[in-house]
A and B are shown apart, each in its own frame.
Chain A
Amino acid sequence: MPIIIEKLSYTYQSGSINAFTALKDIDLTINDGEFVGLIGHTGSGKSTLIQQLNGLMQPTSGKVTVDGFDMNDKKQRAKGRALVGMVFQYPDYQLFDETVYKDISFGPRNLKLSEDEIDRRVKEAMRLVGLDFDEFAEKSPFELSGGEKRRTALAGIIAMYPKYLVLDEPMAGLDPAGRRAVLEMIDSFRRQLNCAVVMVSHSMDDIARSAEKVVVLKDGEIFKMGTPAEIFELADELNEMGLEPPFAARMASALRARGISLPGCIYTNEALVNALVEFKGGHSNV
């Protein structure tokens, strides 16, 4: 069963003079196992939208159902929330316990699992995010490097075995190698746990690589929704909104402008290389 968002609107401080409508009439479905990329300018309502997915914020009007649980209802909300794992932008907001092991086990423990099951899940989660158990389990989360903290924070959510994993800018502040590592990690546990992923990112390249569905938010409304190919076709419109299309898409459109005929829907580096090789009349080995 999917997450269904119907006619959702959200207004901050509604009723006061400072009222600000962050989301307007959002209709969106997140299917089982789907990888959804959420892009939009700063202030477009991305963060507000993902917080509706697990009931941290309730819509001013409209409805969110997670696997049939109505998130407007206080009792059903807790059940729905347990299905949606949410990783915030900064790991510093969630790490608190004495050791990495204890911190990761916080979520599973709140799910009231048995000790054996908690232990098994913590080990599994640490393996999935690439933290060596012997090296890190007894370390304090505050001694870790930025990348390690992020892995720990991620593991803390993965250990809850969410059916839907929501990530708010999971790669912010990481170097390119770190970005790739996190993205690969997300891909790998998506396959292993068979969960859906909703990822907010400023980086179109990261979205282009993994997402199956891309949602573009603009001023609190869904500007466009579709496959990456459909979205990145609109390179000019995205540019106008201040969103930079993926490198490959920009490159392809620049080449087309210079009279090199390339096929449409190029938005990954691999596709670009293939198209260029074909243009030159050779064979790709990518």
Chain B
Amino acid sequence: MFKDITLGQYFPVDSPVHRLDPRTKLILLVMYIVAVFITDYIWIFGFVLLFMLFMTYMSRVPISYVTKAIKPMKFILPFMFLLNLFMIKTGTVLFSWRFITVTTGGVYQALFIILRLIALVTGASLLTLTTTPVSLTEGLERLLSPLKIIKFPVHELAMMMTIALRFIPTLLEEADKIMKAQLARGADLESGNVLKRAKAMLPILIPLFVNSFRRAEELALAMESRCYHGGEGRTRLRILKFHWNDLIAFLIMAGLIAAVVILQNTFKIDSYLAAWVKALIGAAQ
């Protein structure tokens, strides 16, 4: 029943993107998000999305895997689109019916928000597709390590993330077994109203929680019996090192940000586009 859910969505191929240091990729994602947010004009987004396509091509991950990330947003995207379409009342009025007013500014802003969300989600998804969860947490731990100075528990946080990721498949499998055990006892999970159905989930949730707590305790004991005592003085099997390809990746990303900034300040053709959208909608009416 839960077998179809893929959480750790790592796509195992070898590519220049896969080989990058996880720290590099995390920083690149932050830079990419900056690039997305400083983009003020819709047409520059075409540029950013083109860059995204290029990165996907470099990573050898099929494009369909990257766009899969948009699927869970099938409700939020139309919602955001309509909200912006009806709430923004700048520019010229295109369409008006009772309390509903659509303006050029609204159309523009709605498209803009959608593109921005898609750009963000596909970017983040490319990171998880090309980086194993383990190296991702390792990279995060190393990146956040300066925070240790202010007593922020970086190692503990990373360890918790690693453990959580490790046990997600175990939990799913266990939930499946528990569900079957209760179905065999005649549990009815599908009929009734929301309240009744929530109540019917109790026989599944309680064993799941009880077993998780027991497992956590056993895991803690197993770790302590192998002398685990936190991050202090702990050495690593694999030591992360920056290579020349990380530098190239940084330069490319810096290039993107520079291009966005320059393009925005040089060609202010955005108003032309707005006029074009207006003309198009006018023609449609």
Q: Which residues of A contact B (CB under 8 A)?
A: 13, 51, 54, 56, 81-82, 84-86, 88, 90, 92-97, 106-107, 110-111, 142, 156-157, 160
By secondary structure, the B interface counts as helix
The tally of CB-CB contacts under 8 A between chains A and B is 62
Report whether A86 and B184 are in contact in the complex, using a CB–CB cutoff of 8 Å.
Answer: yes
Stretch at the interface among B64-72, B111-119, B125-133, B203-211: B203-211
On whether the beta carbons of B188 and A110 are closer than 8 Å, the reply is yes
Instruction: Tell me whether A107 and B177 are in contact (CB under 8 A).
Output: no
**16 A-B pairs (CB sep. < 8 Å):** A51-B180, A56-B180, A81-B184, A82-B186, A86-B184, A88-B181, A90-B177, A93-B177, A93-B178, A94-B182, A97-B203, A106-B182, A106-B187, A142-B210, A157-B184, A160-B185
Closest chain A residue to B182, Cβ basis:
A94
Question: Beyond A86-B181, A96-B182, A106-B182: 19 further Cβ-contacts under 8 Å?
Answer: A13-B3, A81-B186, A86-B184, A88-B180, A90-B177, A92-B211, A93-B177, A94-B182, A94-B207, A96-B202, A96-B203, A97-B203, A97-B206, A106-B187, A111-B186, A142-B210, A156-B185, A157-B185, A160-B185
B166-205 contacts to A, CB under 8 A, are 174, 177-178, 180-188, 202-204
CA distance A54 to B207 in the complex (A): 22
Q: Is the CB of A94 within 8 A of B178?
A: yes
Q: Across the interface, do B203 and A106 meet the contact criterion of CB distance under 8 Å? A: yes
Q: How far is the CB of B203 from chain A (nearest CB, A)?
A: 5
- A14 CB to nearest B CB, Å: 12
Closest 10 CB pairs of A and B: A110-B186, A86-B184, A96-B206, A94-B181, A107-B185, A93-B181, A96-B203, A93-B178, A88-B181, A56-B180
List chain B residues, Cβ under 8 A from A96: 182, 202-204, 206-207, 210
Nearest chain B CB to A100 CB, angstrom units: 14
Contact B207 A93 (CB under 8 A): yes
- Closest chain A CB from B3 CB (angstroms): 7
